[in-house]
């Protein structure tokens, strides 16, 4: 009852200097990039772009046009600054929008990418969101997602409760089979998935995602008095439940 700075885990980590706010970090994103087959002609939408780390990377590496959307105004402010700093304003277009009602016509995008967002929602809402992603994808277009997966669904409720307490978000991770069934229930086909232990807060994952000095800076900020409790609470929760939690990266296709 007492401890009360209820900051959502991803906002807290962003405040410490973390730029990748997703369960499988670079490793999972790289797997998604491999499935995507981006070309300079690809029309790409990133949903939940936050500070635009992924959008900027896609634009720089593959030279394609990308729209990044998010609901969080202050994250979008940072996204615009980052886009400008990286000289990709011509390729990356940042807009405020809600994933549940995308302001785009049907069949608009070759690729939609959405990392670390679906897990935040109930299963019904996940399905509604996926229906919206399906709508804006062109026939033959690819959906790339990256979320949290439960390895042992029998212990689900207990683990979900611990995660919710640690990250102050109503997270609703589901099992491998449930994730795959969800995508196929919407009509996606050719579903490929990869999963492995989460890297979000492991020391090795932090170094891979943020570089040595980036990770050092995050640790230094985490040790500040006002951050210590939340940081170690999140760190311990993910560490103690590491056998039960994986990331899952999924590539699925809207049929032609």
Binding site for ligand SAM (CB under 6 A): 10, 20-22, 47-48, 50, 53, 70-72, 75, 98-100, 115-117, 120
Q: Which is nearer to ligand SAM, 61 or 189 (CB)?
A: 61
Q: Which is nearer to ligand SAM, 125 or 178 (CB)?
A: 125
Rounded CA gap, 248 and 193, in Å? Answer: 7
For the bound state, the minimum distance from the C-beta of residue 176 to ligand SAM, rounded and expressed in Å, comes to 20
Q: Which is nearer to ligand SAM, 50 or 199 (CB)?
A: 50
For the bound state, the minimum distance from the C-beta of residue 50 to ligand SAM, rounded and expressed in Å, comes to 4
Q: 3-state DSSP call for residue 202?
A: coil
For the bound state, the minimum distance from the C-beta of residue 130 to ligand SAM, rounded and expressed in Å, comes to 12
Rounded CA gap, 152 and 256, in Å? Answer: 35
3-state helix, strand, coil in the chain (%, to 5): 50, 20, 30
**Cβ atoms of residues 42 and 144 within 8 Å:** no
For the bound state, the minimum distance from the C-beta of residue 192 to ligand SAM, rounded and expressed in Å, comes to 19
Q: Which is nearer to ligand SAM, 81 or 189 (CB)?
A: 81
Query: Which has the closest alpha carbon to 135: 35, 37, 45?
Result: 45
């Amino acid at each position: 009852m007492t401890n009360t700075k209820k900051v959502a885990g991803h906002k807290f980590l962003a405040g410490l200097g973390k730029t990748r706010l997703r369960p499988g970090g670079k490793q999972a994103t790289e797997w998604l990039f491999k499935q995507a087959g981006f070309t300079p002609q690809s029309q790409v939408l990133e949903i939940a772009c936050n500070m635009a780390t992924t959008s900027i990377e896609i634009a720089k590496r593959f030279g394609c046009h990308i729209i990044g959307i998010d609901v969080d105004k202050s994250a979008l402010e940072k996204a615009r600054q980052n886009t400008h700093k990286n000289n990709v304003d011509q390729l990356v277009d940042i807009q405020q929008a809600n994933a549940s009602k995308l302001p785009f016509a049907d069949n608009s995008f070759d690729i939609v990418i959405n990392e670390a967002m679906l897990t935040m929602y109930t299963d019904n809402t996940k399905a509604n969101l996926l229906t919206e992603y399906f709508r804006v994808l062109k026939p033959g277009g690819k959906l790339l997602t990256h979320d949290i997966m439960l390895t042992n669904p029998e212990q689900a409720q207990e683990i979900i409760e611990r995660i919710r307490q640690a990250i102050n978000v109503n997270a609703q991770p589901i099992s491998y089979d449930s994730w795959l069934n969800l995508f196929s229930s919407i009509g996606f086909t050719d579903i490929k998935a990869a999963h492995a232990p989460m890297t979000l807060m492991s020391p090795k994952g932090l170094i891979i995602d943020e570089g040595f000095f980036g990770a050092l800076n995050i640790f230094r900020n985490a040790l500040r008095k006002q951050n210590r409790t939340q940081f170690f609470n999140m760190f311990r929760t993910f560490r103690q439940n590491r056998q039960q939690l994986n990331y899952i990266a999924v590539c699925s296709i809207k049929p032609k």
